[in-house]
Amino acid sequence: MRTETSRFKDYIETKGLYFTPERQCIAEEVFSNHKHLDAEELLKILKTKGSKASRATVYRTLDLLVESGLVDKIDLGDGRAAYEHTAGHTHHDHLICIKCGSVEEFEEPLIEQLQDWACEKAGFKATGHNLNIYGYCRSCNATQ
Amino acid sequence: MRTETSRFKDYIETKGLYFTPERQCIAEEVFSNHKHLDAEELLKILKTKGSKASRATVYRTLDLLVESGLVDKIDLGDGRAAYEHTAGHTHHDHLICIKCGSVEEFEEPLIEQLQDWACEKAGFKATGHNLNIYGYCRSCNATQ
DNA sequence: GTTACTGCAAAGATTTTGCACCTAT
DNA sequence: ATAGGTGCAAAATCTTTGCAGTAAC
């Protein structure tokens, strides 16, 4: 079985780039972590695991991961971005709590289809999209 | 006929705040402009029109306008936000060209409905949402 | 006369970049 | 050997904030 990390290695090498230890560490962490990570969290986790990858390298590698299609970038709406690996789940969108910051996922295949349709009508060639709903999650709503 | 500006004045005064000349200028510009403005563009336009409203006041007033419900904030996905007045058009989403930066609108009432439904299922109380599709617009796609 | 608003400049926050040194191939 | 990568710190962006003075009510 090919791991996501090995797919990333292939992607990197096909482009004639080097698969460095830093890139490996960062990729493995993103692929093994099932949460939505932002760059700063990722950097912190890497530090606790002994990686010395710098902030700059984290950002540069996240860009490569997104480019490879193995990772999605989610715009959090407050200027930050979160990242999540794409393997093992169909596309989904996000419910972002403006009180506690939690990010919940939801799936609605028909929405995807309607989006494709809208693009077609507009002659627009989509490369990605971002649907975030902001508000209060179930628990924050209860204690609000 | 009540103008949007007068509605904003009501909103401001109901909250016990002051309807200052700066707030009036900013509101009028946003309401009369039918494009998606970001804060910097808005500031530039205001300057050419002789308003001395500062960047800080522009941001503060835009927040009030969004709060009032008369203006929508659209997260552009690159850290910036654009603003557009809500009057006279139903809710719509955006096709953002990653080459030329153009923002095109599309409307898909069923998407809105599906979103509401997803929120309901998750016990999520939505206060707003943002659906952006990134890619190449018709003309950039042609010359790409 | 209060209470709130404004401009300014500094501070914050996130992300990007220039550069000298280092490393994978 | 060479093309590319890394860390660092500075820069770039967009937005927010503290404060002293000013204006709306």
The CATH code of the domain that includes B110 is 3.30.1490.190
Q: pLDDT grade, residue A13 (50/70/90)?
A: very high
Write down the pLDDT at residue A1: 56
Is there a contact between B137 and A123 if contact means CB atoms under 8 Å apart? yes
Residues B85 and B109 in one domain: no
- Chain A residues with CB under 8 Å of B133 CB are 115, 118-119, 124, 126, 128-129
Write down the pLDDT at residue B91: 81
Sequence length of chain A is: 144
Is there a contact between A135 and B121 if contact means CB atoms under 8 Å apart? no
* DSSP letter (8 states) at residue B86: -
Mean pLDDT of A48-59: 94
Is there a contact between B128 and A135 if contact means CB atoms under 8 Å apart? yes
Residues B142 and B83 in one domain: no
Compute the mean pLDDT over every residue in chain A, rounded to the nearest whole number: 91
Residues spanned by the domain of A110? 90-144
Residues B94 and B76 in one domain: no
Mean pLDDT of A64-78: 92
pLDDT tens digits for A99-108?
Answer: 888 889 998 9
From the first residue on, what is the mean pLDDT of each consecutive set of 10 residues in chain B (144 residues)? 89 96 97 89 94 96 96 88 86 87 89 94 91 90 68
- Any atom of strand D under 7 A from CB of B59? yes
Which bases in strand C are touched by protein, i.e. have an atom under 7 Å from a CB?
Answer: 3-9, 13-18, 23-25
Residues B42 and B73 in one domain: yes
| The domain boundary residue, chosen from A53, A74, A89 | A89
Residues B97 and B125 in one domain: yes
Residues A72 and A100 in one domain: no
Residue B77's CATH number: 1.10.10.10
Task: Give the best residue of B67, B74, B95 to mutate against chain A (max A CB count within 10 A).
Answer: B95
Residues A70 and A100 in one domain: no
Domain count, chain B: 2
| The domain boundary residue, chosen from A89, A104, A135 | A89
**A93: number of Cβ within 10 Å:** 21
Write down the pLDDT at residue B58: 98
Residues B25 and B54 in one domain: yes
Write down the pLDDT at residue B76: 87
Percent of chain A with pLDDT over 70: 97
Residues B36 and B101 in one domain: no
Is there a contact between A138 and B122 if contact means CB atoms under 8 Å apart? yes
Mean pLDDT of A45-63: 95
Which of B 29-48 have CB under 7 A of nucleic chain D? 38-40
Residues A97 and A83 in one domain: no
CA dihedral B105, B111, B116, B121 (to 10 degrees): -140
CA dihedral B68, A76, A78, A54 (to 10 degrees): 180
Name the phi and psi angles at A55, rounded to 5.
-55, -45
Residues B47 and B107 in one domain: no
- Chain A residues with CB under 8 Å of B95 CB are 118-119, 122, 124, 126
Task: Give the best residue of B104, B129, B143 to mutate against chain A (max A CB count within 10 A).
Answer: B129
Residues B49 and B7 in one domain: yes
Is there a contact between A124 and B98 if contact means CB atoms under 8 Å apart? no
* DSSP letter (8 states) at residue A89: S
